[in-house]
Amino acid sequence: MLSRRDVLQVALAAAAVAGWPGAARSQGRAARQDDLLQFRAKGQVTLLHMADCHAQLKPIYYREPSINLGVGEANGLPPHLTGTALLERFGIDAGSWGAYALASVDFERLAHDYGRVGGIDRMATLVKAIRGERGAERTLLIDGGDALQGSYTALQSRGGDMVRVIEALGVDTTTGHWEFTLGAKRVSELFGDVNARGGAGVDFLAGNVVETDFREPVFRAWRMYERGGVRIAVIGQAFPYTSVANPGWLVPAWSFGIREETVRRHVTAARAAGADLVVLNSHNGFDVDRKLAQRVEGIDVILTAHTHDALPAPIKVRRTLLVASGSHGKFLSRLDLEVKDRGIADFEYALIPVLSDAVAPDPDMAALVEEIRSPHEAMLSTELARTDHLLYRRGNFGGTLDDLICTALIEERDADLSFSPGFRWGASLLPGQAITWDDVYNATAMTYPNVYRVTMRGNAIKAILEDVADNLFNADPYYQQGGDMVRTGGLGYTINVDQPIGRRIQDMTLVKTGHPIEPARDYIVAGWASVQEGTQGPPVWDLVTRYLQRRQVVVPAPLAPVKVVRG
């Protein structure tokens, strides 16, 4: 079993050896493209990894969480370090562009200093530069999934715009999660099945998805690539809880799961076929992958995704390197590997922040983005209101963007309280920034957006909170579904994350009255993103937009207090 000391030593050693080019020296000056690309090339192979871009084509602001609690053995370990603790652990100077990219500390000031992040045209520039340096014959570009959802154009094109983008970027292989919310038919059109490719010119690998009836594989599980004379087997692992966390009725004939034994079988088959290196392209989430690495022999690298974690050094579990590349096109991971005797002899790593002011846009990708967005640009850029405070989503228990949505649900649906899902996707907005249709869609664009209004007993409200909390804070990572805690509007509570299900939620209070939530009393609840088929109500983006247009200036919403205790 992996000890806490093992993980910390490896994380610190990796940070000391690989570092983050320029991060410790960058305080007080802007980054340059050459700074971001600074790297000591090593070995025969370069793996490039991006994940969870959520269809973000343009540069955005994106604040990392200030709270990301770990439970069980993961308590206090990366990636469950935030803010100053994270910067100190990895030796990154406060106020540097490295600190701006990785932490929430002093975010507003640093955002003004260093500008937006991401932009797929900037990502293309970095990818092309690294390919040019190393040679395409040594480079493999892997996308970790959640690429086809999260913007207006992705919603309207049913992922088609992002397929064009990842093809143009030269992505070799990807896997899925939110892709499945487009429905089984659309996923098959784009990515084919175990026997044939779909319309997309990208390998879609997902070995843990099987038919519900006969348990036959739906998609190809793995593929062998040769780079730099090294045979690399990439195994794809889709999000294992897709049919629970998202609507199962969209993929009714497909079954998902971690399927540890299936992963083990694929590793064995890849080694038997001559693989020198085995890479798991995983959308499990970091803590699930950490446990998987402890239990499955023979995986050299796990490129982990889903939980949006960004770490400036790999975490080594036994002989497996875990790489976490963040989200929203904000980071590109570069992992150079020296491979000997069918394993990793040495490596060099950099988590490259895509600072859009520092990186020149790639003209070809910029033209493609313009083509995709130009028919909708006038609508998307329409100002709906302005915010006088920072709007952000990330955090275990809430964010100001979700506070805004929850308040809009209560007011527009005349409810006592509201629920908004703990999604990790959605850009941040700085004080004074215009809120546009683009911003609203970036936080809400999905295929089941209806806002419901229902009557719910107090004991049912508690049951929902307990169930979601267990999905997030179960001490066994294999029972964690990722995401953050459901956001509540008009409802305060205390949560003890270390207690078992049924004992985590206490002291529920209705904010507007200050009175305790009564188990047998009925309350009017508004919410959205129900996984139930046939949910009725207006799409959430229309409702939020009406709220914004009536306000014009968004001030901080009344917070529903969430008190966190441990032990």
Question: pLDDT tens across 536-554, in order?
Answer: 999 999 999 999 999 999 9
432 burial level (CB within 10 Å; 0-12, 13-18, 19+): exposed
Q: What is the rounded average pLDDT of the residues 23-41?
A: 78
Between residues 213 and 22, which one has the greater pLDDT? 213
Q: Which of 371, 397, 432 is the last residue of a domain?
A: 371
Distance CA 486, CA 130 (A): 40
Q: Tell me, yes or no, whether 310 and 386 share the same domain.
A: no
Domain of 406, in residue numbers: 381-565
Q: Tell me, yes or no, whether 51 and 189 share the same domain.
A: yes
Is the per-residue pLDDT at 15 higher than 90?
no
User: Is residue 349 situated within a structural domain?
Assistant: yes
User: Is residue 376 situated within a structural domain?
Assistant: no
**pLDDT for position 397:** 92
**pLDDT for position 29:** 64
Q: Identify how many contiguous H helices and E strands the chain contains and give both numbers.
A: 18, 25
Q: What is the rounded average pLDDT of the residues 5-15?
A: 45
Is the per-residue pLDDT at 8 higher than 60?
no
- C-alpha torsion sign, points 446, 256, 142, 102: positive
Distance CA 29, CA 49 (A): 27
DSSP string, 331-368: EEEEEEEEEETTEEEEEEEEEEE-BTTTSPPPHHHHHH
Question: pLDDT tens across 85-124, in order?
Answer: 999 999 999 999 999 999 999 999 999 999 999 999 999 9
User: Is residue 548 situated within a structural domain?
Assistant: yes
**SS3 assignment, position 222:** strand
546 burial level (CB within 10 Å; 0-12, 13-18, 19+): middle
Q: Tell me, yes or no, whether 132 and 271 share the same domain.
A: yes
**pLDDT for position 377:** 98
Q: Which band of pLDDT confidence, cut at 50, 70 and 90, is reported for residue 2?
A: very low
Is the per-residue pLDDT at 13 higher than 50?
no
Is the per-residue pLDDT at 26 higher than 90?
no
Distance CA 474, CA 468 (A): 10
What are the tokens at 46?
């370069």
Q: What is the rounded average pLDDT of the residues 274-298?
A: 98
Is the per-residue pLDDT at 18 higher than 50?
no
User: Is residue 8 situated within a structural domain?
Assistant: yes
Distance CA 565, CA 560 (A): 16
DSSP string, 510-530: ETTTTEEPPTTSEEEEEEE--
The mean pLDDT of the chain is 94
**pLDDT for position 20:** 53
Question: pLDDT tens across 485-509, in order?
Answer: 999 999 999 999 999 999 999 999 9
User: Is residue 59 situated within a structural domain?
Assistant: yes
Q: Which of 371, 394, 409 is the last residue of a domain?
A: 371
**pLDDT for position 483:** 78
Between residues 200 and 557, which one has the greater pLDDT? 200
Distance CA 393, CA 402 (A): 6
Q: Tell me, yes or no, whether 80 and 13 share the same domain.
A: yes
Listed in order, strand segments (DSSP E) in 168-270 are 173-174, 203-204, 210-211, 222-227, 230-237, 254-255
Residues with Cβ within 8 Å of residue 252, at least 6 apart in sequence: 184, 212
**SS3 assignment, position 141:** strand
Distance CA 520, CA 460 (A): 9
Q: Which band of pLDDT confidence, cut at 50, 70 and 90, is reported for residue 33?
A: very high
3-state helix, strand, coil in the chain (%, to 5): 35, 25, 40
Q: What is the rounded average pLDDT of the residues 505-530?
A: 97
**pLDDT for position 556:** 82
- Max CA separation in the chain (angstroms): 69
Burial 231-266 (b: 16+ CB within 10 A, else e): bbbbbbbbbbbbbebbbbebbeebbbebbeebbbeb
Cα distances (angstroms) measured from residue 234 to each of 203, 211, 298, 336: 10, 22, 12, 16
Q: What is the rounded average pLDDT of the residues 152-173?
A: 98
DSSP string, 398-431: --HHHHHHHHHHHHHHT-SEEEE-------BB-T
What percentage of the chain carries pLDDT values higher than 90?
92
Please say whether the beta carbons of 258 and 240 come within 8 A: yes
User: Over the Cα atoms of the chain, what is R_g?
Assistant: 22
Helix (H) or strand (E) holding 535: none
Please say whether the beta carbons of 44 and 338 come within 8 A: yes
User: Is residue 157 situated within a structural domain?
Assistant: yes
Residues with Cβ within 8 Å of residue 127, at least 6 apart in sequence: 48, 141, 169, 170, 332
∠ CA 476-477-482, rounded to 5°: 130
Q: Tell me, yes or no, whether 367 and 391 share the same domain.
A: no
Distance CA 154, CA 329 (A): 15
Between residues 480 and 15, which one has the greater pLDDT? 480
Phi, psi values for residue 218, rounded to 5°: -90, -40
Q: Tell me, yes or no, whether 289 and 386 share the same domain.
A: no
- Give the total number of structural domains in the chain: 2
Distance CA 364, CA 358 (A): 18
What are the tokens at 330?
């904000």
Q: What is the rounded average pLDDT of the residues 137-163?
A: 98
Distance CA 257, CA 203 (A): 21
Q: Tell me, yes or no, whether 423 and 448 share the same domain.
A: yes
Torsion of CA 465, 81, 395, 458, to 10 degrees: 20
Q: Please tell me the total number of residues recorded for the chain in this structure.
A: 567
Q: Which of 371, 404, 438 is the last residue of a domain?
A: 371
Is the per-residue pLDDT at 6 higher than 90?
no
| CATH code, domain with 547 | 3.90.780.10
Is the per-residue pLDDT at 456 higher than 70?
yes
**pLDDT for position 420:** 97
Phi, psi values for residue 333, rounded to 5°: -90, 135
**SS3 assignment, position 457:** strand
∠ CA 184-248-162, rounded to 5°: 45
Distance CA 51, CA 282 (A): 10
Residues with Cβ within 8 Å of residue 167, at least 6 apart in sequence: 200, 201, 202
| CATH code, domain with 116 | 3.60.21.10
Strand 301-304 vs strand 315-317: parallel, antiparallel, or unpaired? unpaired
Q: What is the rounded average pLDDT of the residues 292-320?
A: 98
Q: Tell me, yes or no, whether 198 and 344 share the same domain.
A: yes
User: Is residue 277 situated within a structural domain?
Assistant: yes
User: Is residue 47 situated within a structural domain?
Assistant: yes
Listed in order, strand segments (DSSP E) in 88-229 are 139-143, 173-174, 203-204, 210-211, 222-227
Distance CA 60, CA 85 (A): 25
Is the per-residue pLDDT at 300 higher than 80?
yes
**pLDDT for position 561:** 85
Q: Tell me, yes or no, whether 356 and 411 share the same domain.
A: no
Question: pLDDT tens across 245-267, in order?
Answer: 999 999 999 999 999 999 999 99
Q: Tell me, yes or no, whether 288 and 394 share the same domain.
A: no
Q: Tell me, yes or no, whether 73 and 52 share the same domain.
A: yes
**pLDDT for position 482:** 75
Q: Which band of pLDDT confidence, cut at 50, 70 and 90, is reported for residue 559?
A: low
What percentage of the chain carries pLDDT values higher than 70?
94
Q: Tell me, yes or no, whether 430 and 553 share the same domain.
A: yes
Q: What is the rounded average pLDDT of the residues 36-65?
A: 98
Q: What is the rounded average pLDDT of the residues 368-382?
A: 98
Give bridge partners of residue 277 from the DSSP assignment.
Answer: 232
Distance CA 223, CA 275 (A): 10
